[in-house]
Structure 1
């Protein structure tokens, strides 16, 4: 077959290369020359394109149809291709300390990983010829509603049509991106991905899943706003609009432009009696319940919850000082085990159609199955009508949290913005399946951003602190812990839909702020006994145990948190955070009693 257009000798099988913006043509041409693909396919985001790619994946075998549902599919990866290759994720800057803090001598830093330009060049050599015999797909996408002043543009080049299909779910892929780039002076983030297996490779392909895990890496280049991923076709390793762009690169852009890119859900909570709605953003480490909270089914009468986003929030103060947030993603991406109609019915309803499942079991009748899934007798059924609002939604509350089985109370309110930043910097949680670790070890995950930091964490905290300035009206900051257990290892709080009772208290603290429902403690304001609505719970709550602050625990915890930040952030730790740490340690030593 003869093709009208060629780029560097490579035939264009779809799309008009000549009509693209010049900066885009330069970007594509460079990587065509490096990767040496057989064909070039310029995506348009249409339904016909989705049908074509899906049919091809089903025919070749990477996808199987889940016949029990509508437009649902299952894929299985090579078992060596893992979810998050944190040890091989780095950021390349000329100055090392733009990327990572000044850690103590002999200490391995965990808040980002730096790569020198010379080492990066060596890594990038693996892209030479990596797409030989394969098709190069060019994916234009918007993070956030197309045309929103809070949104950003990206273009991903990949040799995986599975990635193309998933990017269509997770971002807004559209031909309109080209017009938007032509009409504005805005640059775009450059995303380059390859599974690292040219057709001539002798590597054995498992489950129709090409990958090269022995050579996998993900590199970020802030100065040219570029992300390069090699060797893995799985999750955020290959869907470069997700953590790589939406958090690591976006956090750098946010610092430059005075906004925030955070690992946070966004939800609207409406009191149906008053009709008033409050929007909340909350940061928990991966697999700690963000999606469950974002799609919460309230058990407390009179409340309605609507989801704007379950994973990432981009937030900016407007000219009046109100903080507004958008969800830069278009779909949902999560960990399946433990998800069922009891833990999160809205999530279950969300993925009964138009979903791709990876590495889950398939039942004989064409359904999905995983650990914790009971017999289960739509876009998200509670998606907020403003989720595509180009202005975003107004945020009144920020919440941090994690899996803390002992010592940490169900909820507390911080004393100030600065205290809230310190509390966020001290977030810890049990290790989860989303990280490269095993066991029940409590790990530091500052601001729930440890794996996603794009630049020096000390400067990141400085940036947060700098936002408390006129005319900005900074939100109140809270910390929650649904996971505290008793001496028998049983959860003290029922969780799931009952978490609306805690959110109800948080909302009332924002609206009332009086000591009638809040009690000052060394770590923040705790609920006064009886101020959380417990009416109708199946079992009584052990209030005193749920909110106890064991002196020895908090003395040890504060000492350990201070040591962590001294070792990991060192001289880059902001003075104000140090002062807040010292002040809280002093309050604990003087005010808490065993």
Structure 2
């Protein structure tokens, strides 16, 4: 059974500092006068002990206490360039960072939960007993910052004052990591101690890239200590492994929601965006999709941007579901970002005026970044994630070397976006009326469908299936991606599923405020619907129409066709929305291809999910009940109409 604060707090064991007095003496010995005066403003004993022991364990030459001032931000930018972690580009405010060639994604094979003897973790994750992790950390992290500067930052994952925000320390010797944190999170040095006292906890993150050499990668590790809400990362640089406030602390937030506030709070791998509707209203949507499956594109398709990756959600006293983004920036995949599909983001990336950290893209001889799918003329040569590059280049296996890595990224502030909403900083969050779930599905589900009730909606999330993306080192093929959150769920998936059913089925949610819960699928191909091309049936900009239909549905202004898997749009409604929202004709022929039910494919998907979840005896029975109901309904349709059921047949059947 998972318990907080159980077992040895490893950083305190290795640092050996157990009193505030000893911590303050260490600060006096290690910090200069300016930074000593800064740390002396922090009085909370646990915060002081975490920082002091991180110093004692890692042994940096100097310590920089980052207050978030403009001078401190500039120091960190300059340090990143001085240490060779970033290089300035000709466009002001733009820098390029390269991760090691063999560390272009999350090192899931070297990522571990630290567990106590009687504690279980997700079957999808690696674990290491506490005493073994202690030995590894003593070996690999003791003295790892010798010769380096430690930067300690004080952040909020969410707006200051929000019920679902979480304070977090980011302690690192990487100026690139610290620079990224300054763009992606809210430096809350003046409010940090007050927020820790208000919320009753904080996260601690300790990282060092060490010597930052390829030969050190076998020693790279990411450890997550759930009991003490502390993460450790070493000998790696990719932000998904090192910017531990992101997915590392997201895991702790999932724990907090599932085991401390089940049914009232969620921590999700979701974008948050506002969709404009009739009469000038804005309807807020949160949606899950595995990394690389269009989450940023969907977030940007809204008219009021709050976030593209993570969401903290809770049920407010007025019976509404509220959401905040723990981040205030974008660490976004750039592959296929172009003027046609992502004009707002392209404005920031191609024009001066915005601070941008590029990672693992190609830089040409003129210092201009290039990436796969940008829709622009590629250069003949340049430098990219694997070194010098030129057109036609092949790797040791004879495969073409792409212009940029599929997981190449850009890091920018959300507030720079043209559709940024100031609601992003509202501690009360945004009232969330639409929940979506999507993956890379080329041949099964329609572009959009709505669950019949909250239980059916939860099952849509539980049954996400996606082609593997480049965000995990070594990932290939097609896999299940429950809620697009499974890699970040520390405990049993059954506990998390139970929390989902309890949250969305909570009687505290007002009846007229219950969210529409829907599936989205942008990746249907012509080939899967009788054609001979692997090209998509739709376009990126079609996302605006699917969201617009869901917006109307949330306000009971759009009718629908009932099916065993949920509700699908009527052709007339979509045709009107295509014409008015994106000024594009929409044919009935295309509608039939996209919204016909391919029964055998859907049933095979259901059977796969039933088999996978049946291996866990603790899976809530509700899941199987919903899947059984859907399967039986589909088989009735197949018996009457055959393996492909068209929308007009569904209407006749109803």
**TM-score (norm: length of structure 1):** 0.89
Deviation at 1:366, TM superposition (A): 2.5
Q: Which structure 2 residues correspond to residues 483-498 of structure 1 after superposition, within 5 A?
A: 483-487=523-527, 488-498=532-542
Deviation at 1:177, TM superposition (A): 3.5
Within 1, Cα distance between the matches of 2:87 and 2:196? 39
Equivalent in the alignment of 1:590: 636
Name the CA shift for 1:79/1:120 in 2 (closer, same or farther; >3 Å). Answer: same
Equivalent in the alignment of 1:386: 423
Within 2, Cα distance between the matches of 1:99 and 1:242? 20
Deviation at 1:394, TM superposition (A): 0.2
Within 1, Cα distance between the matches of 2:101 and 2:94? 22
Secondary structure of the equivalent of 1:381? coil
Name the CA shift for 1:437/1:416 in 2 (closer, same or farther; >3 Å). Answer: farther
Aligned pair 1:84/2:106, yes or no?
Answer: yes
Q: Aligned to 1:132, which of 146, 150, 155?
A: 146
Deviation at 1:240, TM superposition (A): 0.9
Equivalent in the alignment of 1:291: 296
Q: Aligned to 1:571, which of 614, 617, 633?
A: 617
Within 2, Cα distance between the matches of 1:437 and 1:78? 15
Secondary structure of the equivalent of 1:280? strand
Contact 1:397 1:475 in 2 (8 A): yes
Within 1, Cα distance between the matches of 2:121 and 2:92? 45
CA deviations on 1:477-532 (whole Å, 9 max, x unpaired) are 10011110112234454332222211222122222266xx3111111111223331
Equivalent in the alignment of 1:436: 473
Please tell me the root mean square deviation across aligned C-alpha atoms, in Å. 2.3
Deviation at 1:75, TM superposition (A): 1.5
Name the stretch that deviates more: 144-153 or 262-271.
Answer: 144-153
Deviation at 1:8, TM superposition (A): 7.8
Aligned pair 1:521/2:563, yes or no?
Answer: yes
Aligned pair 1:478/2:518, yes or no?
Answer: yes
Within 2, Cα distance between the matches of 1:362 and 1:141? 32
Equivalent residues, number: 556
CA deviations on 1:159-184 (whole Å, 9 max, x unpaired) are 11111111101111232144425764
Name the CA shift for 1:449/1:489 in 2 (closer, same or farther; >3 Å). Answer: farther
Q: Which structure 2 residues correspond to residues 189-200 of structure 1 after superposition, within 5 A?
A: 189-197=203-211
Name the CA shift for 1:425/1:212 in 2 (closer, same or farther; >3 Å). Answer: same
Within 2, Cα distance between the matches of 1:260 and 1:96? 26
Secondary structure of the equivalent of 1:115? strand
Contact 1:8 1:33 in 2 (8 A): no
CA deviations on 1:327-362 (whole Å, 9 max, x unpaired) are 110111011121111121111123442010011111
Contact 1:97 1:456 in 2 (8 A): no
Aligned pair 1:233/2:233, yes or no?
Answer: no
CA deviations on 1:198-244 (whole Å, 9 max, x unpaired) are xxxxxx847xxxx9321112121222111111221211211111111
Within 2, Cα distance between the matches of 1:119 and 1:566? 32
- The structure where helix makes up a greater share of residues is 2
Deviation at 1:149, TM superposition (A): 2.6
Name the stretch that deviates more: 367-376 or 532-541.
Answer: 532-541
Deviation at 1:555, TM superposition (A): 2.2
Q: Which structure 2 residues correspond to residues 309-328 of structure 1 after superposition, within 5 A?
A: 309-328=307-326
Contact 1:147 1:180 in 2 (8 A): no
Equivalent in the alignment of 1:153: 167
Secondary structure of the equivalent of 1:74? strand
Name the CA shift for 1:191/1:14 in 2 (closer, same or farther; >3 Å). Answer: farther
CA deviations on 1:97-151 (whole Å, 9 max, x unpaired) are 6422xxxxxxxx42x3333223322332221121122222111111111232321
Query: Which runs of 5 or more residues in structure 2 are unaligned?
Result: 1-23, 378-414, 644-654
Equivalent in the alignment of 2:367: 366
Within 1, Cα distance between the matches of 2:77 and 2:34? 16
Deviation at 1:85, TM superposition (A): 0.8
Within 2, Cα distance between the matches of 1:496 and 1:45? 37
Secondary structure of the equivalent of 1:176? coil
Contact 1:492 1:542 in 2 (8 A): no
